[in-house]
Amino acid sequence: MSSLSTMTSEFVSRISVAVWIGRLTEEAAREALVAYAAACQRIDATEAVHVHETILSEYRHRREGQDLCS
């Protein structure tokens, strides 16, 4: 689905599951994902924007799948 590293994909997965089971709010999840993307910004600005967008896209994809299972 995405071009994320295994570690990043796993982080996104854990965040989405925490929202799904009610341990984390949607707002807190988005803040965590933004913070994670910011931590990855040791790369150039254009690439950092791409990473941020890809992380959020992966998160939305996972949440949609989880919502279908509910």
For residue 63, tell me if it sits in a domain. yes
pLDDT confidence band for 1 (50 / 70 / 90): very low
> How much is the pTM?
0.77
Residue 16 lies in a domain: yes
Domain count, the chain: 1
Provide the sign of the torsion angle of the four alpha carbons 50, 53, 55, 61, taken in this order: negative
Residue 1 counted as domain residue: no
Predicted pLDDT of residue 26: 94
Q: Decide if 21 is inside a domain.
A: yes
Using CA atoms, how far residue 53 sits from 9, 21, 28, 31, in Å, is: 13, 24, 17, 14
Mean pLDDT calculated for residue range 15-28: 96
Question: Residue 11's domain spans which residues?
Answer: 6-69
Whether residue 55 is predicted with pLDDT greater than 80 in this model: the reply is: yes
Neighbours of 62 (CB within 10 A): 20
- pLDDT tens sequence across 25-44: 999 999 999 888 888 777 66
